[in-house]
Structure 1
Amino acid sequence: MPDTTLVHCGRDARPAVDHVSLRLGARRDGTDANLFLDVERVHRAFLKPIPSVDRDLMEVAAYVFAADQAVPRGGPGLPADGELGAGWRRRFCYHVPVRNPDVWRSAAVTDLLTSTLGFLSDDEYEFHFRPLASDADFQGTVRFDRAPYDELIDEVALFSGGLDSLAGAVDAAVVRGRKVLLVNHRTNAKVSGRHHQLLAGLGDHARACRPVHIPVWLNKEKELGRSSLQRTRSFVYAAVAAAVARLVGHDRVWFYENGVVGLNLPLSAQVVGGRATRTTHPRVLNGFARLFGLLTGRPFAVENPFVWDTKADVVRRIAAAGCGPLIEFSSSCVETWGRTVDHPHCGACSQCVDRRFGVLAAGQAGHDPGRRYEVDLFTGPRGEGKARHTLAGYLARAEEVRQDGPAGFFRRHGEVGRVLAELPGRPAEVAAQVYDLYRRHAGEVRAVLQQGLAAAVPQIGDRSLDASCLVRLVVDPQAVPPPPPPPPAGPRNVIARRGRGWFVRFAGGDGFFYPDDLGFWYLDHLLRTPDALVPAQDLDAAVRARQAATRQRVRTLIAVAERAAGFAEGPGADDAFDGRTRDQLKADLRNIATLLDTYAADGPDRLEVIDELRARRAAIEAYLRKGTRLGGKVRKLADPVHRVRDRVGKAIRRAVAAIGDEDKPLVAHLQEPVLTLGNSISYRPPPGTTWAAVWSTAS
């Protein structure tokens, strides 16, 4: 079970050794800020300010990305453990100041935010939002390379400077003659010169439809750069693009990425879950779109037009538009800090490998010289570590697709099921498109491989090649390294509380995270006490007792404060409701308001107490609404036994419905007569079905 990393954000976030402190500023100006989001003069460019909810969105994304970089896999103080290891999954608890706290605290927004980020990075997230004390935290706007802004924009697209985003810009501006606004998020100036060359070349080819460019800088102090993985970077890209799009009246942004990288099925059984990056997975893009729509109350779309393209298809788009010379100036390598003018690509990371295969398969080697890669694709040494395993897995998957056929492909890659619900079309048709995409990609890899082997015949003959290079991996089976050992297997059936959510796995399949809900508390009790007939009231009492124990520290702190203030304990949820009860509850609401004012003045150390008080206030207000009619008169409520039965049943059905969105086999398992609801509730599974509360990071 990973430890929780507290992340305190905002100008008032104090440095400490027991949490990550992110102090946002617009630029390095001598303040104590350690995170800088520089979006200059947007009101001058657009003649209007950035809406406050979009400013919140960009800052929340910046905080998430900065913490992702500041905490290596394994937790604070531990080195990153690469693609495997017991410390892979992390748990973050953010305390974030925002301008629109009511919007961000809504259950729909927080649930969608945590679930989308959880799927994106394979971590657990919890957010506490508080009002922003002063808007001085954010003074930046957007900097244009042309000003003032005075042109009609047809499309807004993300522009990273890689091959895929270059192809998207070419397709929009050069091929379709659209005026495209390119949004670019940068974390360092290392590739700025190459971006300027790309933009200049795009302008020359597009002419009247020369793209408009918006660079947004996000930098941090060195002490926050402890991890090179950037799984949450797409959240920053999408957040900035969405904010800019809404300023020009658009409700859609384009996120160009070839389908093999976008779907990104794991290269091997050892690279599972979030360890195969999901930065542009359809589920992530759809999650972003729904989140952005919820924040503003208007539908929004984040779309990937290249989802059925291979990397070679993307390169062919650039070449067909007459923009082949621009390929050389695009940047794909993730190791940007180690690159040089002579070697802008390392040649060893997965992005470089995929780029090189795609360029060669598209016949564009002349526009992407091999000398620009530090490690040659075919003959360059790769050592014994991650680079060698990455290449071996890349080749192995292509060969497996070629040999297995459709049936074997889907058996091997169960994660395809997550794609079917996220893309338009009938599931069978979408599945066929997924297989065709990987089949074509496998054919391209095989064709490039055959060409490379033919060119290396003289070196094969004199045995002068390094044992770790691609050619030796293919022609000499002894040179292929053994795969890393698989992670230890966890229990087949698991239900476990993690942070403010639940991890559930059924029958040894994929595990899923769900936002906290009372129904999962009930399910947890039932699943781990099979064959028992439990009265609804007893189940409710057991769960309430466990919840109380879980939050005992916070409850104790509140109780001490209440006793000191002379507050009396109010009635329970199932006590008789009468005029005296109504008056007592209203008095409790006034007392809670006093406590909230007191704790708000104490600063961020009391955030958990404030959350608990607000939850208590919401529960009392809901109970008052049920028990009073117009004019404040008391309404007779249903029998307490029936109320408990209905509450428990509705909560369990709600949890089962949430599971149904992710895990169809488990929902099928939980149908009657296995799970029965009524005055008494039971879970009677087939013999041998047991559930554990133990959850390993390998699960």
Structure 2
Amino acid sequence: MTDYHVRTDLSRQLPTHPEVRVLDWAPGRPEATIQLGKRAGGRFLDGWRPPREALDLLLLGAATYCADKTALRAGAADSWTRNLNITIPVNDPKQWQESGIESVLNFLTGDQWTIETYREQASPLNGLDRVPDAVTPVGPVDAVCLFSGGLDSLTGVIDLLEEDPDRRLCLVSHNEGGQASTAQDKLLHELEAHYGSDRFITKQLFLRPAPANNSQLRPLPGPRENTTRARSLLFLTTALALAASVNSRTPVYIPENGFIGINVPLTRARSGSYSTRTTHPHFIYGLQQMIQQLGVSNPLRNPYRLKTKGELLAETLNPKLLKRLAPYSVSCSHPEAARYVRRRQGNCGYCFPCLIRRASMSHVGWDENPLKHYSWDALTGKGLLDRNTARSADLRAVIKGAFNDHPDRDILRNGPIPNGEHQAFIRVWRGGLTELRKWFQDATDHTEAHLARHGHH
């Protein structure tokens, strides 16, 4: 068990046991072990204030993300499943007791979470001079939309703005620097140039476990876990806080295709650790139930939940703009991978999200000049199909998954499907596999030869 204790009032006594890790929330101050913002003050919070219930949710998201980043899976008995306990200050501890939060977190990250609460009447935003005293909307917006800088989120923003010419959005992103933030900045600049600055406002959250310094009373340990499954909870609770600042009906849009959402493991060996659940319908349903129990009723909506990535691109409301901006988006699991071999950084070309991206781009005829847009060309790049390179793992699994037969029940291997939607998600899953298979079949001799050798032709 790894224990974490969250403090929003730094005058409160530290946990007596020295092994308890302390997550101190103090935006802009060097004592903080939750770092919010790269500069003093953490400008993300300036000028708006959510209701306390939504603020407590945001604090939960920040705490679970920092715990996820600082508790290494390598130390677990199975090198994956951790036992994590977080004690968090909230306004109404009784309300949290029946929230179902632990099962939602367990499903999302594959760990065993225990969430304990204690009463903290003072708001976590007290003392921040740029935060209003009363609940204040982030701006005159109609919806909040997650904006990762990936292709799905780019399509989502374009479609939401095209669908209703009067709609105004708050676009929220999270990053710790690197290629993702570069993509976000470039795309936001292009979207503003096309739609005008009055159609959306942006909120870019920089949040991470703070590096150790001498001002912290109990610094966090140094090594960082890179699987970070709790990041989506931080992303969503941040978006919910922004939406709740407007009113309780303002929706949060989560634009992600249903094939990635359902994320059926491609092979028997890839269940669990390889299968993220960021937009899995069971997670979204459980999260919606949980936040309602905690007094936050803003709806969570994924407009692409029953579409493949190829369908998402084919049905966009502005294909000309999307095709032009798509190369600037980053859909990659590890966009900095190419730095170590001195190739262009961005979309690596061989991870699972990159392969889905390329198949979907091929579906609409946009998969042109791959080495201009990817560090490696999965169809022709030497070494990517060899068994002795780690870079081949996702590609081999995708080829196997696309060409093998799968029973319908496999749809449940990454979690249950709520609301009787099994058939709808089976269609999305099989449609995504068809897009992958067609991409390979239309490909070059290199991949064709590999498929023939392995009996998938």
Shorter-normalised TM-score: what interval? 0.7 to 0.9
1:193 aligns with 2:186: no
User: Any conservation in 1 of the 2:106–2:113 contact (CA below 8 Å)?
Assistant: yes
User: Any conservation in 2 of the 1:198–1:329 contact (CA below 8 Å)?
Assistant: yes
1:276 aligns with 2:275: yes
User: Any conservation in 1 of the 2:70–2:225 contact (CA below 8 Å)?
Assistant: yes
Residue 300 of structure 1 corresponds to 298
Relative distance call for 1:17 and 1:417 in structure 2 (3 A) is: closer
Residue 358 of structure 1 corresponds to 360
Q: Name the structure, 1 or 2, with higher relative contact order (CA <8 Å, separation 6+).
A: 2
Distance of 1:473 and 1:224 partners within structure 2? 43
Superposition pairs for residues 463-612 of structure 1, below 5 Å?
470=447, 473-477=450-454
User: Any conservation in 2 of the 1:187–1:217 contact (CA below 8 Å)?
Assistant: yes
TM-superposed deviation, 1:115? 0.7
Residue 389 of structure 1 corresponds to 393
Residue 123 of structure 1 corresponds to 111
TM-superposed deviation, 1:170? 0.5
Residue 449 of structure 1 corresponds to 440
Relative distance call for 1:102 and 1:396 in structure 2 (3 A) is: same
1:168 aligns with 2:156: yes
Relative distance call for 1:202 and 1:189 in structure 2 (3 A) is: same
TM-superposed deviation, 1:129? 1.2
1:262 aligns with 2:261: yes
Structure 2 residue aligned with 1:159, among 131, 135, 147?
147
Residue 436 of structure 1 corresponds to 427
Paired letter, 2:380: T
Distance of 1:96 and 1:265 partners within structure 2? 34
TM-superposed deviation, 1:282? 0.9
Paired letter, 2:176: T
Distance of 1:397 and 1:478 partners within structure 2? 13
User: Any conservation in 1 of the 2:171–2:201 contact (CA below 8 Å)?
Assistant: yes
SS state at 2:88 partner: strand
Relative distance call for 1:224 and 1:346 in structure 2 (3 A) is: farther
User: Any conservation in 1 of the 2:35–2:208 contact (CA below 8 Å)?
Assistant: yes
Residue 6 of structure 1 corresponds to 3
SS state at 1:435 partner: helix
Distance of 1:194 and 1:249 partners within structure 2? 30
Relative distance call for 1:212 and 1:6 in structure 2 (3 A) is: same
Structure 2 residue aligned with 1:93, among 85, 95, 100?
85
User: Any conservation in 2 of the 1:5–1:91 contact (CA below 8 Å)?
Assistant: yes
TM-superposed deviation, 1:211? 1.9
Q: Which has the higher helix share?
A: 1
Superposition pairs for residues 327-366 of structure 1, below 5 Å?
327-338=326-337, 342-366=344-368
TM-superposed deviation, 1:331? 1.3
SS state at 1:379 partner: coil
Deviations 1:52-75 (A, max 9, x none): 222221111111111111122232
Paired letter, 2:83: R
TM-superposed deviation, 1:134? 5.9
**More off after superposition, 179-188 vs 275-284:** 179-188
Distance of 1:231 and 1:415 partners within structure 2? 18
Distance of 2:203 and 2:33 partners within structure 1? 23
Structure 1 residue aligned with 2:245, among 244, 247, 251?
247
Distance of 1:244 and 1:449 partners within structure 2? 42
User: Any conservation in 1 of the 2:262–2:411 contact (CA below 8 Å)?
Assistant: no
SS state at 1:197 partner: helix
Paired letter, 2:360: G
Deviations 1:281-302 (A, max 9, x none): 1111112212221212x53321
Relative distance call for 1:396 and 1:136 in structure 2 (3 A) is: closer
Residue 231 of structure 1 corresponds to 229
Larger radius of gyration: 1
Paired letter, 1:244: L
For the aligned residue pairs, the C-alpha RMSD in angstroms reads 3.2
Paired letter, 2:393: H
Relative distance call for 1:334 and 1:17 in structure 2 (3 A) is: farther
Structure 1: gaps spanning 5 or more residues: 77-84, 461-469, 480-699
Residue 24 of structure 1 corresponds to 25
User: Any conservation in 2 of the 1:74–1:88 contact (CA below 8 Å)?
Assistant: yes
Distance of 1:142 and 1:379 partners within structure 2? 53
Paired letter, 1:201: E
TM-superposed deviation, 1:275? 4.1
Between the two proteins, the alignment pairs up a number of residues equal to 427
Deviations 1:85-114 (A, max 9, x none): 82321111112223433333x3x12xx110
Distance of 1:15 and 1:321 partners within structure 2? 60
Residue 378 of structure 1 corresponds to 379
User: Any conservation in 2 of the 1:91–1:124 contact (CA below 8 Å)?
Assistant: yes
TM-superposed deviation, 1:321? 5.2
SS state at 1:418 partner: coil
Relative distance call for 1:373 and 1:287 in structure 2 (3 A) is: same
Residue 70 of structure 1 corresponds to 70
Structure 2: gaps spanning 5 or more residues: 212-220
SS state at 2:116 partner: strand
Relative distance call for 1:202 and 1:128 in structure 2 (3 A) is: same
User: Any conservation in 2 of the 1:13–1:23 contact (CA below 8 Å)?
Assistant: no
Distance of 1:69 and 1:443 partners within structure 2? 36
User: Any conservation in 1 of the 2:4–2:22 contact (CA below 8 Å)?
Assistant: yes
Paired letter, 2:228: Q
TM-superposed deviation, 1:262? 0.4
TM-superposed deviation, 1:269? 1.3
User: Any conservation in 2 of the 1:157–1:254 contact (CA below 8 Å)?
Assistant: yes
Query: Percent identity over the alignment?
Result: 24
SS state at 1:127 partner: strand
TM-score (norm 1): 0.56
1:324 aligns with 2:323: yes
Relative distance call for 1:150 and 1:247 in structure 2 (3 A) is: closer
Deviations 1:451-490 (A, max 9, x none): 222xxx3xx5xxxxxxxxx5554233399xxxxxxxxxxx
TM-superposed deviation, 1:315? 2.8
Paired letter, 1:103: Q
Relative distance call for 1:103 and 1:412 in structure 2 (3 A) is: closer
TM-superposed deviation, 1:43? 7.8
Relative distance call for 1:175 and 1:303 in structure 2 (3 A) is: closer
Deviations 1:418-457 (A, max 9, x none): 11x24xxxx3xx333222222322222122112222xxx3
Relative distance call for 1:190 and 1:416 in structure 2 (3 A) is: closer
Paired letter, 2:363: A
User: Any conservation in 2 of the 1:170–1:321 contact (CA below 8 Å)?
Assistant: no
Paired letter, 2:59: E
Residue 180 of structure 1 corresponds to 169
TM-superposed deviation, 1:253? 0.9
Relative distance call for 1:150 and 1:36 in structure 2 (3 A) is: closer
